[in-house]
Amino acid sequence: MGNPGKVSYPAVFLDRDGVINHPIIRDGKPHAPASLAEFELLPGVKESLASLKAQGYLTLIVTNQPDVPRGTAQRESIDAIHDQLKKDLPLDGIFACFHDDADRCGCRKPLPGLLFRAAREFNIDLKSSFMVGDRWRDMEAGKRAGCRTFFIDWRYRNEPPNACDHRVSSLAEASAMILRRVAQP
């Protein structure tokens, strides 16, 4: 991936809901906040991202936002959340898929299209990169892109991932492991 002859960079790809912010839990299942008023950062996120950036990792959110085509969230509200995140957090970018499963697009996780797009735009070395998420779709997208994966296990009533490299309790724990190079093969 990336441009031949150019330096490539490691990245930490982050799902949004359940990694960066508290998801809205209904019947044991996570849902995205529909507005900035419902949006609440998880503890330690800003510090974790700053630590990763200080060690040379690009930090990029890759998020499915199917509530927009489903009509339960407005695109303007999602854009407002992302604009606020760009102001408040040390992020290099936010990549969002505004499709639902029926659209069969290549950018909706578990497909790795968002990660591949970010890799092209930022010249990312995917084999040196990580995917941190809280759903099986995140782990599958990370694996398909060639990244090592961290699953934040909130014990949702959802299908767990078939495989992940590490199970953790938070972005802070994943970040600490990445920085200690524990996740290195």
Which tens digit of pLDDT belongs to each residue from 152-181?
Answer: 999 898 888 889 999 999 999 999 999 997
Which tens digit of pLDDT belongs to each residue from 42-72?
Answer: 999 999 999 999 999 999 999 999 889 898 8
The mean pLDDT value of the chain amounts to: 93
In a domain, 68, yes or no: yes
Within a 10 A sphere around the Cβ of 150, how many other Cβ atoms? 30
Residue type, 96: A
Which tens digit of pLDDT belongs to each residue from 131-145?
Answer: 999 999 999 999 999
Residue 151, token pair as written in the block? 């699953």
The domain in which residue 54 lies consists of 11-179
- CATH number (domain holding residue 128): 3.40.50.1000
User: Which residues partner with 29 through β-bridges?
Assistant: 26
How does DSSP assign 101-165, residue by residue? GGG--SSSTTS-HHHHHHHHHHTB-GGG-EEEESSHHHHHHHHHHT-EEEEE----SSPPPS--S
Which tens digit of pLDDT belongs to each residue from 8-49?
Answer: 999 999 999 999 999 999 998 899 999 999 999 999 999 999
Residue 110, token pair as written in the block? 């578990």
The count of structural domains within the chain is 1
In a domain, 148, yes or no: yes
In a domain, 2, yes or no: no
In a domain, 38, yes or no: yes
- How many helical (H) and strand (E) elements, i.e. helices and strands, does the chain have? 6, 8
